[in-house]
Structure 1
Amino acid sequence: MLRLSRLLSKRWLSSSKPAGSTAAHYFPHEPKGPHLATDSIPGPKSQALNDELGQVFDNRATYFVSDYTNSVGNYISDADGNQLLDMYCQISSIPLGYSNPELLKAARSDEMANALINRPALACFPSTDYKQILQDGILAAAPPGHNKVWTALSGSDANETAFKAAFMYQAAIKRGSRDFSAEEMASAMENKAPGCSDGVILSFDKGFHGRLFGSLSTTRSKAIHKLDIPAFPWPKAPFPALKYPLSENVQANQAEEQRCLDAFESIIESYPPHTVAAIIVEPVQAEGGDNHASAAFFQGIRDITLKHKVLMIVDEVQTGVGASGKFWAHEHWNLTTPPDMVTFSKKFQAAGFYFHDKNLQPNQPYRQFNTWCGDPSKAIIAKTIYQEVVKHGLVEKTAATGAYLYPQLQAVLDKHPDKVLNLRGENFGTFIAWDFVDAGARNKLLAEMRARGVNVGGCGDVSARLRPTLVFENSHADVFLGALEDSLKAL
């Protein structure tokens, strides 16, 4: 039986939550370090439960079966009673820690009960308080330049509805003031032009935008996501493959980004006007390997989209809500003109897209539509998340924690140049990643970390990524760094 005392390094033991710690405020009984109750993870109870679950549910991607009633703050518990520092957080979806008391309070409120048991078909029967719920939360958090929102059911759905808005917007420009023709109406029912658009959404190599049909056609990260599924013949532009460290590769990276911008514009110019309805891009290509590009590159994208009257969709499903040290990661770019749409989900526990041009709302009802069009209960949670983030300055605190973590992480990784490389995410909050020499070494490291009570996720072919909560602090960083140092030695 492994014991916590065997795992605590001097680095861990010297740690304590700082004065003014938001984690301590929320979670006075949060563990000071991992607790391991079994010799391996997953343990026997977790494996048995997962075997049972597998009889009725596809669970082949399971890390371990979790006990969320025993998970607190930055620590996730499994069915065997192991408590792990969670640096993956449900694939970047836990903003304020497990069992957050303010979210529990919102969940137990009369407002929430009403939203849950009387879930409305929002487009037809919106509730009397939905506008206020949005204004106090999701809209209060709107990216600069945006003042409207369409709420959706998931990140994939957010992107799909943004695509629909883009197609209808461009079609309306081409159609002008005339109404739908009889030919358009009839051909649409046959899935043919002119009623069905010949428009395309341009995405980038290594990008990930979801697993529904339209969003999957823009996803370019791994073949396993796309195999056997019919796809739209939409174009793909190259995304820069930067060299690290950035300070030593300035000219090479500038040339690489210009190469990609030239190719991007060439692809757009190969289509008739308004055929490329929109482009979609992530501030960091998370699932594709945490691939970064400079602010100048993204400004270049914006300039080209404006020049060719192509809409720009920024996919902030994984990067949004504070993890980058800005509430929205694209704020790091300081664009001269805001993107046309910004999609969100994950850490907001709700989904949808922001916009500012009223013409992105179709001029007839039932065109952007489904039964629920989002969920007031999720919007209530998003409202609480936003208010707590602002109340405790969690975006700024995350930026500070990232500034504390990054140089120490660099020092740890520098000791193992034969195993790891390409640390990235400096000055980007805790949205940090690095590469391994191969996938086998990465996967072994993730297993070693879990054996030491720290849960870390992978991405791309050979990368590890950090996706902690917004209440991940210096003391938690010390726990992580100690486990990482020991794990790298064990590789």
Structure 2
Amino acid sequence: MLSKMRLGSYSHNLRKILPGIESCGPKGSRYQSAMAAAAAVKEPEGPQMVTEVPGPRSKQLMSELDEMQSMKTIQFFVDYEKSQGNYIVDVDGNKMLDVFTQISSVPLGYNHPALLEAVKGSAMATSLVNRPALGVFPGANWNNSLRDVLMSVAPPGLNNIITMMCGTCSNENAMKLMFMKYAEHLRGGKEFSQADLDSAMQGQMPGIPKMSILSFHGSFHGRSIGCLSVTHSKAIHLVDIPNMGWPVSDFPRYKYPLDQFVRENAVEDSRCLAMVQDKIHQQLKDGCPIAGIIVEPVQAEGGDHHGSAAWFMGLQAICKKHNIRLLIDEVQTGGGATGKMWMHEHFNLPEAPDLVTFSKKMLSGGIYHKEDLRPQHGARIFNTWVGEPSKLIILDAVIKTIKRDNLLAQVTRVGASMTKGMNELQAKYPNIFANFRSLGTFGAFDCSTPEIRDKLTGGMRKEGVHLGVCGETTVRFRPSLTFDEKHLEILMGKLQTVGGKIDS
């Protein structure tokens, strides 16, 4: 299998690969040299730390960058040529097991041979150099790319797609689709009147109807103006930015372990569903009806809160009852990390959601949607590029590798072992590890205080493990799909070591 290809044989074949690389850049170019260097790197046997993080070189680069750009979120600078597999290497030479993977965005780890090979040919060079405006002048192979790549992993029941660049623009345009469909319903299916068109130019009714989107406390859907109106995870995202004032409802907050609080969690599901019903009725009464609901399977930025299958079934039933649309935001959960390509597949919904948005591990962005949500007029959902063909070249290699190496089964298997290991840590150090929840390797746990969480993640970084956080006290696991038992053994061992130090 390609994922187990020996370094020697791959390096031996570099001469076959390099002619293709030359077609993507001039002979002797930095690009060509970087490709060759990345292909020759072997994944470390374990973490290797030589400085603190950020180290001296990272700090120097941060200082230089600050003269040109304010980006205070940067943690460290990375040497991407030396990063390999499930290890990220910073510019100071620290080799860390990466269990955060660029905010859950690296599907197969760093410099995977299949992806390096995928970018070697003329198709990649042509795509990058000519970057087509896909909504107006797509290339001859664009239909094949959509059908053979993105539609090959479409959520069951969704046979239409709109490509986008990122998760934010995917959610923004998916909400527009829901508004457009609801407005069509309000018009009784009729074409726009001249009054509709004229009043729209003035920002007035009837061309600009009063409508809203329902979202949930703890949600995150992006940082554009529209998406901020359905984002409720951190004040820093929202402060100073006017929003639409749309309704917000409660997302379930469960007690763990789930099997010990079945009754209580069922009551919580019912409470939150009843609140959704109330919000729908109130918005109708106020003259600003809800056109759709946007929801994440897991509130990945707001604290990794899960919604149960029963809750999502109930949510879909409410949408059907009131003739509004259900948009499931799979930007972070899609792409295989839960053991299925789409997390909502675990919910066994009676039918497909109306819309599913994606990005991150899918490398591109976009919206899968039902047939009846297709825009009926040109330029309704549009921007200059409407996606990026070069990303589909790489995604094609990702999907083929997932299937060939049976990575969804691996994610499920490793996820089960992860749960077992975390349950043991929770029993031993309940003040440090609590409320572990996961599907596949998409997991998280809570610390008892923000201070303990900071000690834990700081200690793990010193031990050479890079983790992510969310919410107030939550640590989240977002490894690549190639994360296997040897990586898990290192992760669990380091958590045991650092947890023991904090507890002593």
State the TM-score bracket (shorter-chain normalisation). over 0.9
Identify the residue that residue 363 of structure 1 maps to in structure 2.
376
Identify the residue that residue 35 of structure 1 maps to in structure 2.
48
Contact (CA 8 Å) 1:325, 1:399: kept in 2 or not? yes
Structure 1 position 146, deviation (Å): 1.1
Identify the residue that residue 249 of structure 2 maps to in structure 1.
237
Identify the residue that residue 356 of structure 2 maps to in structure 1.
342
Whether 1:471 aligns to 2:482 is yes
Query: Matched residue of 2:192: which SS?
Result: coil
Contact (CA 8 Å) 1:30, 1:72: kept in 2 or not? yes
Contact (CA 8 Å) 2:105, 2:361: kept in 1 or not? yes
Identify the residue that residue 434 of structure 1 maps to in structure 2.
445
Contact (CA 8 Å) 2:425, 2:433: kept in 1 or not? no
> Which residue type is aligned with residue 278 of structure 1?
G
Contact (CA 8 Å) 2:184, 2:190: kept in 1 or not? no
Match of 1:277 among 291, 306, 315: 291
Query: Matched residue of 1:140: which SS?
Result: helix
1:95-136 alpha-carbon deviations (Å, 9 max, x no partner) = 011011111112222111111111111111111101111111
Aligned residues: 468
Contact (CA 8 Å) 1:274, 1:309: kept in 2 or not? no
1:333-360 alpha-carbon deviations (Å, 9 max, x no partner) = 0100110000000001100010122x31
Identify the residue that residue 80 of structure 1 maps to in structure 2.
92
> Which residue type is aligned with residue 314 of structure 2?
G
Between stretches 398-407 and 51-60, larger displacement belongs to 51-60
Structure 1 position 422, deviation (Å): 1.1
Whether 1:179 aligns to 2:188 is no
Match of 2:403 among 379, 390, 395: 390
More helix per residue: 1 or 2? Answer: 2
Identify the residue that residue 71 of structure 1 maps to in structure 2.
83
Q: Whole-Å Cα distance in 2 between the matches of residues 62 and 414 of structure 1?
A: 35
Identify the residue that residue 489 of structure 1 maps to in structure 2.
500
Q: Whole-Å Cα distance in 2 between the matches of residues 419 and 140 of structure 1?
A: 42
Between stretches 188-197 and 308-317, larger displacement belongs to 188-197
Structure 1 position 489, deviation (Å): 1.9
1:385-404 alpha-carbon deviations (Å, 9 max, x no partner) = 11211111111110111011
Q: Whole-Å Cα distance in 2 between the matches of residues 35 and 177 of structure 1?
A: 63
Whether 1:332 aligns to 2:342 is no
Identify the residue that residue 15 of structure 2 maps to in structure 1.
none
Q: Whole-Å Cα distance in 2 between the matches of residues 152 and 229 of structure 1?
A: 24
For structure 1, the residue ranges without an aligned partner over 5 or more in a row are 1-19
Q: Whole-Å Cα distance in 2 between the matches of residues 25 and 59 of structure 1?
A: 39
Whether 1:136 aligns to 2:151 is no
Identify the residue that residue 276 of structure 2 maps to in structure 1.
264
Q: Whole-Å Cα distance in 1 between the matches of residues 176 and 413 of structure 2?
A: 39
Query: Matched residue of 2:306: which SS?
Result: coil
For structure 2, the residue ranges without an aligned partner over 5 or more in a row are 8-38
Query: Matched residue of 1:441: which SS?
Result: helix
Contact (CA 8 Å) 2:337, 2:411: kept in 1 or not? yes
Whether 1:354 aligns to 2:352 is no
Q: Whole-Å Cα distance in 2 between the matches of residues 23 and 454 of structure 1?
A: 23
Contact (CA 8 Å) 1:167, 1:197: kept in 2 or not? no
Alignment CA distance shift 1:166-1:25 (3 Å) = farther
Structure 1 position 270, deviation (Å): 2.1
Q: Whole-Å Cα distance in 1 between the matches of residues 189 and 488 of structure 2?
A: 58
> Which residue type is aligned with residue 171 of structure 1?
A
Match of 1:161 among 155, 173, 176: 173
> Which residue type is aligned with residue 384 of structure 2?
T
Match of 1:374 among 384, 387, 399: 387
Alignment CA distance shift 1:329-1:102 (3 Å) = same
Whether 1:399 aligns to 2:418 is no
Q: Whole-Å Cα distance in 1 between the matches of residues 183 and 106 of structure 2?
A: 38
Identify the residue that residue 327 of structure 2 maps to in structure 1.
313
Alignment CA distance shift 1:400-1:25 (3 Å) = farther
Whether 1:225 aligns to 2:229 is no
Structure 1 position 268, deviation (Å): 1.1
> Which residue type is aligned with residue 411 of structure 1?
E
Overall identity of the aligned pairs, in %: 43
Q: Whole-Å Cα distance in 2 between the matches of residues 274 and 167 of structure 1?
A: 12
Q: Whole-Å Cα distance in 1 between the matches of residues 255 and 129 of structure 2?
A: 52
Identify the residue that residue 15 of structure 1 maps to in structure 2.
none
Whether 1:412 aligns to 2:425 is yes
Alignment CA distance shift 1:462-1:190 (3 Å) = same
Contact (CA 8 Å) 1:237, 1:263: kept in 2 or not? yes
Q: Whole-Å Cα distance in 1 between the matches of residues 394 and 199 of structure 2?
A: 43
Between stretches 373-382 and 148-157, larger displacement belongs to 373-382
Structure 1 position 63, deviation (Å): 1.4
1:460-489 alpha-carbon deviations (Å, 9 max, x no partner) = 111000000000000000011111111112
Structure 1 position 51, deviation (Å): 1.2
Match of 2:459 among 443, 448, 454: 448
Contact (CA 8 Å) 2:327, 2:353: kept in 1 or not? yes
TM-score, structure 1 normalization? 0.93
Structure 1 position 149, deviation (Å): 0.6
Alignment CA distance shift 1:36-1:376 (3 Å) = same
Q: Whole-Å Cα distance in 1 between the matches of residues 336 and 310 of structure 2?
A: 22
Q: Whole-Å Cα distance in 1 between the matches of residues 482 and 251 of structure 2?
A: 32
Contact (CA 8 Å) 1:274, 1:310: kept in 2 or not? no
Contact (CA 8 Å) 2:210, 2:288: kept in 1 or not? no
Identify the residue that residue 313 of structure 2 maps to in structure 1.
299
> Which residue type is aligned with residue 371 of structure 1?
T
Structure 1 position 314, deviation (Å): 0.5
Identify the residue that residue 98 of structure 1 maps to in structure 2.
110
Q: Whole-Å Cα distance in 2 between the matches of residues 100 and 419 of structure 1?
A: 34
Q: Whole-Å Cα distance in 2 between the matches of residues 21 and 103 of structure 1?
A: 11
> Which residue type is aligned with residue 92 of structure 1?
S
Structure 1 position 88, deviation (Å): 0.2
Between stretches 258-267 and 409-418, larger displacement belongs to 409-418
Identify the residue that residue 117 of structure 1 maps to in structure 2.
129
Between stretches 160-169 and 189-198, larger displacement belongs to 189-198
TM-score, structure 2 normalization? 0.90
Query: Matched residue of 1:218: which SS?
Result: coil
Structure 1 position 165, deviation (Å): 0.8
Alignment CA distance shift 1:99-1:154 (3 Å) = same
Query: Matched residue of 2:298: which SS?
Result: coil
RMSD: 1.6
Q: Whole-Å Cα distance in 2 between the matches of residues 319 and 430 of structure 1?
A: 11
Query: Matched residue of 2:293: which SS?
Result: strand
Q: Whole-Å Cα distance in 1 between the matches of residues 238 and 5 of structure 2?
A: 43
Structure 1 position 24, deviation (Å): 6.2
